[in-house]
Amino acid sequence: MTQAIRLSREFFDEVAKPRLFMDFPEIAPRIAAGLVGNGSECFGYDDELSIDHDWGIDFFVWLSDEDKDFIEPLSKWKRTLFEEHSDKELRQRSEYGAYIGVMTEGGFYSSLIGFPDGPHSIEEWRATPQENLALAVNGEVFYDGAGEFTKTRKHLLDFYPEQLRMKKIAARCMAIAQTGQYNLNRCMKRADWVTLRTVLSRFNDEVISLVFLLNRTYKPYYKWAYRRMTELPILGSEIGKELYSLALLSGLDFETFKKQQECISRICGMLIIELKAQKLVKSDDWFMATHGAEIQSRITDDFLRRLPPQYE
């Protein structure tokens, strides 16, 4: 548990929750509360650099639609409560800081992913940015009297429908092949150093994305993607070490390029072993595009099957 979440949970349990039940006894048993969404603390990554802005004790109060008339009274109640405890390490919102306050449960999820109870159809899942799904399920729920907020959270944590996960994996395989296994070599031969750096960057991102998919975990936005990946049980640590080594290979000489290729080959080898372990592919081919095409051929959803392998 991170410092901000730990402090926020303690404050809610010891101070806010008793007051809620005393001041709003008619709705308190139905509310949910917690710290979820935007902010490094919600991912568990707040550190000494985080305390310079939008950091400290805070929490959402989530209401059902039937209790939405209590949004303003509860917002005023929360402001008063924080004023009474100004000696605590309370969060001070900056001009561009994320809003943390009182909302309906559906309003909260809609603000992040566009759907009050999460996406359900393939079309809805495809329309939802993955990094926003990561925001919707991070952090901690401190209390959920009615269980509705947690119900939607569980639906999201169950991850993408398997057909869509397969489609995304196929697209990642195609992109890894195109960047690290094909175009990097061509950029080197052409001495196109700017595009070479772009290719390596895209390769990194595609590999990280594939590791998240293999772990059935949403990838957060770029700032925390690598760090979160290294914590994942399937290939997170192993591929994290290889990507770190690749990042340190900054030269433009042939010897550096050879080491980059060796690193990329090891990464692709590990990915192929895991694709086979999850029974997504059978081929032993070294080229990731072969595996992308094989996964695409196994998709049965009519719409997803019609899309080219490189598209998700």
Per DSSP bridges, beta strands 140-144 and 60-63 are unpaired
Degrees, nearest 5: CA angle 71-135-311: 130
Per DSSP bridges, beta strands 140-144 and 32-35 are antiparallel
Of 157, 187, 205, the domain-final residue: 157
Same domain, 12 and 144: yes
Of 157, 188, 209, the domain-final residue: 157
Task: Determine, yes or no, domain membership for 83.
Answer: yes
Spatial distance between the Cα atoms of 152 and 156, rounded to a whole number of angstroms: 6
**CB-based contacts of 43: which residues, under 8 Å, 6+ apart?**
138, 139, 220, 224, 228
Q: Are 241 and 248 in contact (CB under 8 A)?
A: no
Query: What is the 8-class DSSP label of residue 253?
Result: S
Task: Determine, yes or no, domain membership for 141.
Answer: yes
Task: Determine, yes or no, domain membership for 169.
Answer: yes
With b meaning 16 or more CB within 10 Å and e meaning fewer, what string describes 271-286?
bbebbeeeebbeeeee
Same domain, 132 and 176: no
**CB-based contacts of 147: which residues, under 8 Å, 6+ apart?**
none
The reported pTM is 0.95
Q: By residue range, what is the domain housing residue 9? A: 3-157
Same domain, 211 and 125: no
Q: How many domains, the chain? A: 2
Same domain, 143 and 180: no
Q: Are 200 and 193 in contact (CB under 8 A)?
A: no
Same domain, 149 and 40: yes
Task: Determine, yes or no, domain membership for 260.
Answer: yes
Query: Identity (one letter) of the amino acid at 39?
Result: G
* 157: exposed, middle or buried (Cβ count in 10 Å: 0-12, 13-18, 19+): middle
Task: Determine, yes or no, domain membership for 312.
Answer: no
Task: Determine, yes or no, domain membership for 267.
Answer: yes
Instruction: List residues bridging with 103 in a β-sheet.
Output: 62
Same domain, 53 and 144: yes
* 3-state secondary structure string across 40-68: HHHHCCCCCCHHHCCCCECCEEEECHHHH
Same domain, 168 and 293: yes
Write down the residue that tokens 């929490």 correspond to: 59
**What are the pLDDT digits (tens) for 147-194?**
999 999 999 999 999 999 999 999 999 999 999 999 999 999 999 999
Same domain, 137 and 261: no
Task: Determine, yes or no, domain membership for 184.
Answer: yes
Same domain, 170 and 140: no
Residue 49: its pLDDT value, please? Answer: 79
Of 157, 184, 210, the domain-final residue: 157
Provide φ and ψ at 60, rounded to 5°.
-85, 150
Same domain, 150 and 178: no
Same domain, 134 and 216: no
Q: Are 169 and 234 in contact (CB under 8 A)?
A: no
Same domain, 175 and 128: no
Residue 201: its H or E element: helix 193-214
Task: Determine, yes or no, domain membership for 311.
Answer: no
* 156: exposed, middle or buried (Cβ count in 10 Å: 0-12, 13-18, 19+): buried
How high is the mean pLDDT in each 10-residue block of the chain (312 residues)? 88 97 97 95 85 84 97 97 88 82 98 97 97 97 98 98 98 98 96 96 98 98 97 98 96 94 98 98 97 98 97 94
